[in-house]
Amino acid sequence: MLSLSKKAKISLIVIFGILLCDQLFKLWIKTHMVLGEEIKITNWFYLHFTENNGMAFGIEIGKGELGKLFLSIFRIIAVCAIGWYLSHLIKQKAPTGLIISISMILAGAIGNIIDSAFYGLLFSESYYNVASFLPQGGGYAGFLHGRVVDMLYFPLIDTRLPDWLPIWGGENFVFFRPVFNLADSSITVGVAIILIFQKKFFNH
């Protein structure tokens, strides 16, 4: 019987914990909100339902169906590479912090792959109506052509710029504008931890 090391167990807990939270949150948004709808939690935190064809924070590679397919394949290859590297780190008994960080990055990448791979098959469109699960006639897109569900919006600063300011004077300014999801957050935090503690993680 396969016996997992302590570091491997920690990695699996992190990955499955993040995936569970990410997918449950996305499923709730998809089945309770219309595209573009938002729920105000505080003055600086909203649930704003949007979808994108791209990577974290809506970044896209290429245009159209071909670009979408390329991005999905790129994601799968990246996940395989990260998974291999994580397995290597566990075997080499790398620092637990590094293993957790890579596990967070891997979980986030898998979370967004699930959206693009299966949501198009499982759900109807979210325009004007709340999406239905397993609709008659099939979903809104084929395999690997679904869109990633985003919902976290933090307009920490929402103000009108003074008229005397060159170029942008009088225009509305919002910081932080991108809408993202828990998977994106997991990737970002994982990378940030590695950058902050890189000397400790890679001193060997």
Hey, which residues are catalytic here?
A: 150, 184
- Please say whether the dihedral angle defined by the alpha carbons of residues 28, 31, 33 and 36, taken in this order, is positive or negative: positive
Which residues are paired to 153 by β-bridges?
46, 179
Which residues are paired to 40 by β-bridges?
46
Enclosing H/E stretch for 50:
strand 45-52
Closest alpha carbon to 113 in 136, 145, 135: 145
Is the Cβ–Cβ distance between 90 and 165 less than 8 Å? Answer: no
Is the Cβ–Cβ distance between 123 and 140 less than 8 Å? Answer: yes
Rounded CA separation 191/199 (Å): 14
Distances (CA, A) of 53 to 85, 89, 114, 117: 27, 32, 13, 11
